[in-house]
Amino acid sequence: MTRLRSQDWFGGTGVNGFIGRSWLRNQGFTDADFDGRPVIGICSTWSELTPCNGHFRELAEHVKLGVREAGGVPVEFPVMSLGETILRPTSMLFRNLVSMEVEESVRANPLDGVVLLCGCDKTTPALLMGATSVDLPTIVLSGGPMLTGRFRGAPIGSGTAVFAMAEQVRAGTLTEAEFRQAESCMSRSAGHCNTMGTASTMACLTEALGMALPGNAALPAVDSRRRVLARETGARAVGLVREDLRPSAVLTRAAFANAVRLNAAIGGSTNTVVHLLALAGRAEVPLTLDDIDAFGRDIPLLVDLQPSGRGLMEDFFAAGGAPAVLRELAPLLDPSARTVTGRSIVENNRDAPPPDGETVRTLAHPLARGAGTAVLRGNLAPDGAVIKPSAASPGLLVHRGRAAVFHGMDDFRARIDDPDLALDEDSVLVLTGVGPRGYPGMPEVGNLPLPRYLLERGVTDLVRISDARMSGTAFGTVVLHVAPESAAGGPLALVQDGDVVLLDVPARRLHLDVTDEELARRRATWKAPDPVSEGGWQRLYVDHVEQADRGADLDFLRGRRGALVSGDNH
């Protein structure tokens, strides 16, 4: 083991060494803690405003036990927490801000390694992005999914059931009182969404990336075995420091390819596209939308979970979780990818349970083929757009229809139920002004509610296109992340009511049936929207955020800046 960086703080004999040791003694630190033991930072996103992460205080204590048992010194520190269910205007607006806080907190303090405690959607990519830019030995512990809820005797999936029931209320088939009753049935324990939403997906992909111990993703939040995993994670963090195993050795192109493949096999969230692209930018690994399409295109859907299937995360855990899927995917994975265990991704999962044939299927008998997130291009999305075929209506994957255009969510809410729009099952809903700059923050509004009068007629899906994102728990034939976004002058800003839109997912095509000359004429009269803020974080974000095809990170945050700190603390 090379000299610990924490010794630059605690190993000195002068004033700075005195200060660094003395003030920590009031928390019970001893001479042994300062005498060359690895100092492990436990980066926590606990907050009562982030219900998914509300149990992290207890998890952190178990991580500390593991660190101590392995001969390390644990120190817990907080960073801003991003609660998907509460934070406004959208948690995505703050993902990059949290990544900056993580990076600077880790670099500025006497840490030799880091355990990242994350769960709710944006906390996982934010913490990984920040830690990757510092590149100290790092390992992830996810908070785990909540237990299965039940409403009227049937399982109720967090997020997915909400969207479905909200449409039932609008259609008149479910009362508002019944909708309220379901609230208390759904969230019956600590933990994040129990569907294969973004939180569960990112936890799975963290395993596939090699940044967490096997079995990290599916263990329920309140299962006693997650406490054991927390201890093992703390102990392994000390081992990573002694072996000097850093994210730069784990987050390789092979690791990202494996993560994309697992995302397809589990029916994972489209949000992972922007998160993986942003993380790859921090890791200085070349990764593009075309790579994501290619890596996932031929991967079959193996996991029968909502929103692409039927089950929930407790079912997935019982069937072996991510290790069972990775074992079945082994012939399609890059075996060179190293993980925080010190072994390869294939070695990690060789002894995992085989597919049960129900929740986890075999390669020979999948739920669907070609389930990976599809990347679309055309004159409507020259830099790309994405769609999740496994959650879409098969009959709409090749579609031609007339556009009904809405400029922002206020416009949409005001007009969507107006019968004068005369929308039908062939209509294409187009939403502008909800991209990274336009909203700002690229909110999860892409799965637009359908007009009430169509719901009452039994229509359950329409093609919907926007520069927004969609909750990982959502479903429908929804085209997302259109780039460039409308607020940046992308072609989406030029669509008008009645324009014919062509969607062809098998051909990866998204086309506006308007001549180049007409588009040029419209562009000549287009005016950029006014800035959304005069100052503060939002203005910094808008001025520097990159487009969705590059991960919507801030341009000056890409890359690794390392852990070196110049100068003392005075």
The pLDDT of residue 152 is 85
* Structure-token match 């096997």, residue found: 214
DSSP strand pairing (39-44 vs 73-78): parallel
DSSP result, 118-142: E-STTHHHHHHHHHHHHT--EEEEE
* Counted domains in the chain: 3
CA separation for the pair 273, 277 (Å, rounded): 6
Residue type, 468: A
Assign residue 283 the CATH number of its domain. Answer: 3.40.50.2300
Q: At 368, is the pLDDT very low, low, confident or very high (cuts 50, 70, 90)?
A: very high
- Same domain? 164 vs 303: no
* Beta carbons of 77 and 127 less than 8 angstroms apart: no
Model pLDDT, residue 186:
86
Helices of type H across 319-407: 321-329, 345-348
- Residue 489: per-residue pLDDT: 96
Place 158 in a pLDDT band, splitting at 50, 70 and 90. confident
DSSP labels, 38-79: PEEEEEE---TT-GGGTTHHHHHHHHHHHHHHTT-EEEEEE-
What one-character-per-residue DSSP string does 73-126 give? EEEEEE-----TTT-SS-THHHHHHHHHHHHHHHHHS--SEEEEEE-STTHHHH
Among 139, 161, 186, identify where a domain stops. Answer: 186
412-426 pLDDT per residue, tens: 999 999 999 999 999
Residue 177 corresponds to which amino acid? A
For tokens 């390694």, what's the residue?
Answer: 113
Quickly state the pLDDT bin for 570 (edges 50, 70, 90).
Answer: low
Q: What is the mean pLDDT of residues 467-477?
A: 93
20: helix, strand or coil: helix
How far is 294 from 278, CA to CA, in rounded Å? 18
Q: What are phi and psi of 74, to 5 degrees?
A: -85, 140
Which tokens sit at 183?
């609230």
Is residue 7 included in any domain, yes or no? no
Annotate 460-476 with b (16+ C-beta within 10 A) or e (fewer).
ebbbbbbbbbbbbbbbb
Which residues on adjacent β-strands are paired with residue 140? 116, 212
| Least trusted range by pLDDT, from 137-151, 203-217, 530-544 | 530-544
Crossing angle (nearest 10°) for helices 92-108 and 123-134: 40
Does 130 share its domain with 219?
A: yes
pLDDT of residue 90: 96
pLDDT attached to residue 396: 98
Same domain (yes/no): 65, 160:
no
Cα 478 to Cα 484: distance, rounded to the nearest angstrom: 17
**pLDDT over 90 for what percent of the chain?**
88
User: What average pLDDT does the segment 365-373 reach?
Assistant: 91
Q: Last residue of a domain, which of 332, 348, 364?
A: 348
Say if residue 122 is in the same domain as residue 164: no
pLDDT, tens digit (0-9, with 9 covering 90-100), for 490-533: 999 999 999 999 999 999 999 999 999 999 999 999 999 987 77
User: Do the domain assignments include residue 67?
Assistant: yes
Provide the pLDDT for residue 233. Answer: 98
Residues 380, 496 share a domain: yes
Q: In one letter, which amino acid is 450? A: L
- Whether 134 and 158 map to the same domain: the answer is no
Question: Is the per-residue pLDDT at 566 higher than 90?
Answer: no
Confirm whether 365 is domain-assigned.
Answer: no
Q: Does 2 score more than 80 pLDDT?
A: no
On whether residue 463 sits in a domain, the answer given is yes
Neighbours of 184 (CB within 10 A): 10
Tabulate helix, strand, coil % of the chain (nearest 5): 40, 15, 45
Q: Which residue has the higher pLDDT, 448 or 165?
A: 448
Looking at 135, 169, 186, the residue that finishes a domain is 186
In a domain, 70, yes or no: yes
**522 is in which domain, residue-wise?**
374-529
The DSSP result for 201-249, as a single string, is HHHHHHHHHT-B-TTTTTS-TT-HHHHHHHHHHHHHHHHHHHHT--HHH
pLDDT band, residue 265 (cuts 50/70/90): very high
Q: In terms of domains, do 411 and 490 share one? A: yes
Is 206 in the same domain as 234?
Answer: yes
Taking CA 192 as the corner, what is the angle to CA 65 and CA 88, rounded to the nearest 5 degrees?
115
Q: Are residues 127 and 68 in the same domain?
A: yes
Claim to verify: residue 277 and residue 390 sit in the same structural domain:
no
Q: Looking at the domain assignment, is residue 398 inside a domain?
A: yes
Beta strand 374-378 with 381-387: parallel, antiparallel or unpaired?
A: antiparallel
Residue of 449, 128, 415, 106 whose CA lies nearest to 277: 128
pLDDT of residue 12: 86
Check residue 216 and give its pLDDT. 97
Q: Given a cut of 90, is residue 214 above it in pLDDT?
A: yes
Average pLDDT, rounded, for the chain: 95
The C-alpha angle 385, 391, 393, rounded to 5 degrees, equals 95
Stretch (H or E) spanning 272: helix 271-283
472: nearest Cα among 162, 49, 54: 162
Residue 408 lies in a domain: yes
Residue 525 belongs to a domain with what CATH number? 3.50.30.80
Give the pLDDT score at 328. 98
SS3 352: coil
Average pLDDT of span 134-163: 91
pLDDT at 406: 98
What is the torsion angle, in degrees rounded to the nearest 10, for the CA atoms of residue 299, residue 302, residue 306 and residue 312?
-140
Residue 170 has pLDDT above 90, yes or no: no
CB 312 within 8 A of CB 157: yes
Q: Is the pLDDT of residue 544 over 80?
A: yes
pLDDT at site 450: 96
- pLDDT of residue 569 exceeding 70: no
In this structure, the dihedral spanned by the alpha carbons of residues 357, 361, 366 and 368, taken in order and rounded to 10 degrees, is 110
Residue 335: inside a domain, yes or no? yes
Answer yes or no: are the C-beta atoms of 66 and 226 closer than 8 Å: no
Same domain, 442 and 513: yes
221: closest CA among 184, 185, 192?
192
Is residue 20's pLDDT more than 80?
yes
pLDDT bin (cut points 50, 70, 90) of residue 1 is low
Written as six digits, the tokens of 203 are 């936890």
Tokens coding 503: 């969607």
Per-residue pLDDT, averaged over 477-492, amounts to: 98
- Per-residue pLDDT tens for 97-115? 999 999 999 999 999 999 9
Task: Indicate if 116 and 253 belong to the same structural domain.
Answer: yes
